Amino acid sequence: MGNQKTAFITGANKGIGFATAKLLAEKGFQVWMGVRDMKKGREAQDVLKAQDLDVHLVQIDVSNDESVALAAQYLKQNINKLDILINNAGFAADLLVVPSEEPISSIIKQYEANTFGPVRVTQHLLPLLKSTPNASIIMMSSIVGSLELSGDESTVYGQVNFAGYSSSKTALNAFVVAFAKELKPFGINVIAIEPGHIKTDLNNNTGTATPESAAELIAKYALLQDISISGKFFGPNGALPW
């Protein structure tokens, strides 16, 4: 592998994850695509392989401790460093249900994927991230995870009320701050990204922007070796309030 830069992306077989895998591979990265369904993963990989891009598959369910541990073990057997980790995999349940009627089981499922999943993956892959200078960790958050914006009824974000999903992203934002404090001495950036209203399965493809635009935003901050931005929250138009 030599000095080739490496990236690992969860949820990489479709949407934002796939677009980001393609973009980073085009920039010369060896990209490891984390996928839950290997059949769908191979289909996505074949598309990129046909473009002569250096992409590899890793089976991972970020909601499962054993799956994350096995994926991390597999990566450590195949690479000796990790330059970029993108915790992209996420899940939204019924966004129409009101908070008082949202089943606890549904809320837990969203936290497992959106909050604990990125924490699991980050913890297991820290040795690889610490083995390279100026590594980056990108946490895919959401603007509805901003307490300030969600509490402002004069904004569109203040009009929605996604209790389980929004709070799982708010909790993720808190972990961004915590990891950033710990990892700053190692030169590792930890950044929360709100990608914009992207057309994905999560919103039934009702978004107004493309996965490619999200990939460009992610790559911009992942490649920006400026430790002063660590522990902050960014969207398409710049910094966002927590």
pLDDT in tens, 38-68: 999 999 999 999 999 999 999 999 999 999 9
163-183 helix and 117-129 helix, angle to the nearest 10 degrees: 20
**Alpha helical stretches, state H, 7-103:** 15-26, 38-49, 65-78
Q: Which residues contact 49 (CB under 8 A, 6 or more apart)?
A: 55
Task: Output the six-digit token pair for 128.
Answer: 């690889």
Which has more confidence, 187 or 3?
Answer: 187
The DSSP bridge partners found for residue 31 are 7, 55
Query: How many angstroms separate the CA atoms of 163 and 173, rounded?
Result: 15
Q: Which residues contact 111 (CB under 8 A, 6 or more apart)?
A: 164, 168, 171
Averaged pLDDT, 63-79? 98
Q: If you classify domain 6-239 with CATH, what class do you get?
A: alpha beta
Averaged pLDDT, 22-49? 98
Query: How many angstroms separate the CA atoms of 55 and 52, rounded?
Result: 9
pLDDT value at residue 1: 47
Could you give phi then psi for residue 153, rounded to 5 degrees?
-70, -5
Averaged pLDDT, 29-43? 98
DSSP state of 88: -
One-letter identity of residue 129: L
Query: How many angstroms separate the CA atoms of 24 and 21, rounded?
Result: 5
104-111 helix and 163-183 helix, angle to the nearest 10 degrees: 30
Q: Give the pLDDT band of residue 209 (cuts 50, 70, 90).
A: confident
CB 221 within 8 A of CB 176: no
Rg (C-alpha) for the chain, rounded Å, is 17
Q: Which residues contact 178 (CB under 8 A, 6 or more apart)?
A: none
* Domain assignments of the chain as residue spans, ordered by start: 6-239
